[in-house]
Structure 1
Amino acid sequence: MTKKIVIAIDGFSSCGKSTFAKAIAKRLNYLYIDSGAMYRAVTLEFLRSGLIKDGKVDTSRVDEILKNINISFSYDSDRKEYLTTLNGEVVESEIRSPEVANNVSLVAAIPEVRTRLVELQRELGKEKGIVMDGRDIGTVVFPNAELKIFMTADPLVRAQRRLKELQAKGVDISLDEVLSNIQERDYLDQNREVAPLRKADDAVILDNTNMTVDDQMNWVENLVKSVTM
Structure 2
Amino acid sequence: MIIAIDGPAASGKGTLGKRLAAHYGLRHLDTGLLYRAVAHAVLSAGHAADDRSRAAAAAQALDPTGFDEAVLKSQAVGEASSVVSAFPEVRAALFAFQQEFAAEPPGAVLDGRDIGTVICPQADVKIFVTASPEARAHRRWLEFSARGLPVAEAEVLADIRRRDERDSGRAVAPLKAADDAHVLDTTELDVEAAVAAAIVLVEARRSRA
Deviation at 1:44, TM superposition (A): 7.6
Q: Which residue in 1 is equivalent to 2:15?
A: 19
Asked whether the 8 Å contact 1:44–1:94 carries over to 2, the reply is: no
Q: Which residue in 2 is equivalent to 1:169?
A: 147
Higher strand share: 1
**Cα RMSD, aligned residues only:** 3.2
Are 2:89 and 1:112 aligned? yes
Are 2:93 and 1:93 aligned? no
Of the two, which has the highest radius of gyration? 1
Deviation at 1:133, TM superposition (A): 0.7
Asked whether the 8 Å contact 2:102–2:110 carries over to 1, the reply is: no
Greater shift, 102-111 or 113-122, is seen at 102-111
Size of the aligned set, in residue pairs, is 200
Q: Which residue in 2 is equivalent to 1:203?
A: 181
SS at match of 1:145: coil
Higher helix share: 2
- 1:121-172 CA deviation, whole Å, 9 max, x = no partner? 1111123520111111111111111111111112222122122112222233
Q: Which residue in 1 is equivalent to 2:32?
A: 36
Q: Partner letter of residue 36 of structure 1?
A: G
Deviation at 1:222, TM superposition (A): 2.0
Please give the alpha-carbon distance, in whole angstroms, between the structure 2 residues aligned to 1:187 and 1:109. Answer: 12
Please give the alpha-carbon distance, in whole angstroms, between the structure 2 residues aligned to 1:213 and 1:14. Answer: 12
- 1:92-142 CA deviation, whole Å, 9 max, x = no partner? 2399368x9497567545433311311111111123520111111111111
Correspondence for 2:161 among 183, 192, 208: 183
Deviation at 1:23, TM superposition (A): 0.9
SS at match of 1:9: strand
- 1:37-92 CA deviation, whole Å, 9 max, x = no partner? 333555688899xxx56445767x949x93xx685xxxxxxxxxxxx52xxxxx22
Please give the alpha-carbon distance, in whole angstroms, between the structure 2 residues aligned to 1:176 and 1:45. Answer: 28
Are 2:99 and 1:122 aligned? yes
Asked whether the 8 Å contact 2:140–2:156 carries over to 1, the reply is: yes
With normalisation by structure 1, the TM-score equals: 0.72
Asked whether the 8 Å contact 1:40–1:95 carries over to 2, the reply is: no
Are 2:128 and 1:150 aligned? yes
Asked whether the 8 Å contact 1:148–1:203 carries over to 2, the reply is: yes
Distance 1:226 1:157, change over 3 A: same
Identify unmatched segments of 5+ residues in structure 1: 72-83, 86-90
Q: Partner letter of residue 228 of structure 1?
A: R
